[in-house]
Structure formats: C-alpha cells, structure tokens
Structure 1
Amino acid sequence: YALLELGVTLKQTSSYWFAGFVSDKPTFQSVLYGPYNGDYTFTDTLPSTFWSPCGASTTLNINTQLALISSNAQARGQVNPTSTLDPKVLDRDLHIYGVNWRRCN
C-alpha cells in the first residue's frame, strides 16, 4: 500500500544474484508517482539466461530497497510493502517468486 501526495515518488530497486557469483547481477528499478493512494505491484522479469552455475550449490539472493523521494518539502508519503486495502488478499503472502529448473549439460 502506498499513499503519495503530489511531488512524492516511490522508487523500488531490486537486485538478484547467486552467492559467490556477483558478476551477473540483474538490477531493476520501478517508480510510482504521486498523487497516489492504493495498493501497488512491481514486477521484475529476469533474463532467461540468468541461471546458477552448473554443479554449484548456491543461494539466490534478492535485495529490494524502497525509497520515498520528495520534490515538495510540504508533501507527505507513506509506504507499507506488506499491506493492502483489498480484503480478498489480506491473509495471503504478497511476495511471489517464480523459479524455473533445468538440467545441467
């Protein structure tokens, strides 16, 4: 849920990488501009070539940062990344990750 007055921007930055392999680190940015009052969704689609190295036992790391930026000193912004106003999804996990598996060659 986000409440952004005019002049306030919500910026989300997300990075993905496998532990020990930071050279391949896709990073995405999404922006929501005020005025805005309601639920929001940001979706990142990683390139199809983003795979863990064959034979490696590693962890997928996900770093997500939220920032409120204001061009108006009087404007207010509020964000709650795990909250919603929609009663149909109040009891659901709001972070959804999809993972594909492949056999190493």
Structure 2
Amino acid sequence: MKSLVALSLPALALSAPLVADTLSAPPAFKINKVVSGGSGCPQGSIDIDWTNNGILPIYFSKDFTATVGPSVTADQSRKNCQINLDISYSAGYSYSVYSADYTGWADIDSGVKGTVVAHYYFSGEQATVTNPLSSFYSSPRLPLRPHSLPIHVPTQDIRLTQPQGSTSLTLQGPFTGKYVKKDDVAVSVWSPCGQQSLLNVNAEVALTPLGSYASGQLAVNKETGRFASQLYIRWKQC
C-alpha cells in the first residue's frame, strides 16, 4: 500500500478544470494512515496515491470480486470493503468528497443482477447531503453481448444514517463488458475545520440470485485485474 504524503499549493494550481475548487487547498496535507477491512479488501490489499490535482485514486485487488454460479459458495456472492483514511491538513481548511468514479468489469448471465454500492462519511461528523446522480456507461472497447444495451441508471436518494452519502448502481444480465459508475453529490459533507479527520468509504459489490444455474462475475477490471475508484476532493477555507 502506498500514499503520497504531502502536496504544495503551487502544484495544485495546475489542476484540471474539473477540480478547480482545489485551488484553495491548504499549503500541505497528507494521508497519515490507511486501514482497510472486509471480504473485498483485507488490510494491505489496496493502493492509494494522492495525485496533484485533487483526485484520490483507490485501486482494489482481485479480492473485490463477487461471483455466483452452480458450484460457487454463497459467501462469494457479496464482497464488502471498508476503508478508513486518516487525513491531516493545515489549520483553517476543510475538505469534502464531491464526486467519485468507479470502473470495473462484469460478465453476468440472463437472470443475474449485479449491484455496486458506495457510502461516504466522516467519523462523528454531523452534516447534511442531498441527492447524488449516478450514471452508467458501457465501454465500446470491450465486446457486449448483442442483447446487452448501454443503460443509464439514476441513483436512489442519499440515506442520512450518521449522515452519509449512499449511492448504488444496478446491472441487469445478460451483460459482458466494462462499466463506469459516476457519483456526483450536489451538497457535500465537509470535514472538521482545521483538524485531522477520518474519511470513511464503504463499498460493496453483490450478485443475485444464489443457487441457480446462471453464472456471473462483478467488479474486477478485465484489462488490469484491478477494480478502481477515484474520489474527487474539494477544499475550502473555514
């Protein structure tokens, strides 16, 4: 597991327009510690490397793959990953996750349904978030079955349990190919002002039904063997 420890404001001035708000980033910030757990990401199995444009990529291992089929045990149908990011930054600043992308690969038979769910929240923080929009795009570079068509799936409303953003995407078989799940949160949950904070990301992939003759796999990127996520960070002075 790797993490880039500090970035400077001049480096952030080169940010892409997508993350222009990161121009107000603090002089320094760092990831102190990354803890991961769950059937989809045992400790030490993920890589995180903070880029210089306010994007935080997370790379999962092949453990984060849900599988169903005639000879597959039930515990393989659902994989969960809880990530805790201990982040510190200069006094007088706060940050939020305002968008996220998930890329992966699915091969699911007719009658099989796949879901990708993500939650974002700060430990102990009280705030309010509004509805995100989640959209799905199939990749033209990978073959799709003739009867599989690209779909656009709106996300459910955000749930406000300890306030957190919650988004989900559904893939209905038959489908074979790469997908990209995009989450956009209109009003973000902000970290405590000028304090070290614990950002939590809880992700899950699952396939149903169990015990049928239909088969499926969900989550691992076929090209790289990795399931990737990118979190987009916005900073502000507080």
TM-based fold match above 0.5: yes
Q: Which amino acid aligns with 1:84?
A: K
The residue aligned with 2:222 is 84
| Structure 2 CA distance for partners of 1:37 and 1:92, relative to 1, 3 Å | closer
Are residues 100 and 92 of structure 1, via their aligned partners in 2, closer, same or farther at CA, if it must alter by over 3 Å? Answer: farther
Q: Give the structure with higher Rg (CA).
A: 2
Structure 1: 4+ residue segments shifted above 3 A: 90-93
Identity among equivalent positions (%) equals: 28
Which of 227, 231, 234 matches 1:97?
231
Letter in 1 for 2:200: N
Deviation of residue 52 (structure 1)? 1.4
Give the 3 Å change call, closer, same or farther, for CA 34–93 of structure 1 in structure 2: closer
Contact 2:108 2:173 in 1 (8 A): yes
Corresponding residue number in structure 1 for 2:65: none
SS of equivalent to 1:45: strand
Provide closer, same or farther for how the CA distance between residues 61 and 46 of structure 1 changes in structure 2, counting only shifts above 3 A: same
Matches of 1:60 and 1:27, distance apart in 2: 14
Of residues 98, 109, 130, the one that matches 1:5 is 109
Q: In structure 1, how many angstroms separate the alpha carbons of the residues matched to 2:226 and 2:204?
A: 22
Picking from 168, 189, 213, the partner of 1:29 is: 168
Structure 1 unmatched runs, 5+: none
> Which protein has greater RCO, CA pairs closer than 8 Å, 6+ apart?
1
**Does structure 1 retain, via aligned residues, the 8 Å contact 2:106–2:220?**
no
Q: Alpha carbon RMSD of aligned pairs, Å?
A: 2.4
Higher share in strand: 2
Separation (CA, whole Å) in 1 of partners of 2:225 and 2:109? 28
Correspondence 1:47 to 2:186: yes
TM-score (norm 2): 0.38
* Count of aligned pairs: 99
Instruction: Label 1:56 to 1:47 Cα distance change in 2 as closer, same or farther (>3 A).
Output: farther
Checking the alignment, whether the CA contact within 8 Å between 1:20 and 1:58 is kept in structure 2 is no
Could you tell me how far apart the structure 2 residues matched to 1:98 and 1:74 are?
A: 40
- The aligned counterpart of 1:73 is 212
Distance 2:210 2:226 in 1: 34
Measure how far apart 1:32 and its partner are: 0.6
Change beyond 3 A, Cα 1:40–1:18: same
Which letter maps to 1:99? I
Partners of 2:166 and 2:106 in 1: CA distance = 22
TM-score (norm. length: structure 1): 0.79
Cα distance in 1 for residues equivalent to 2:217 and 2:188: 36
What secondary structure does 2:232 align onto? coil
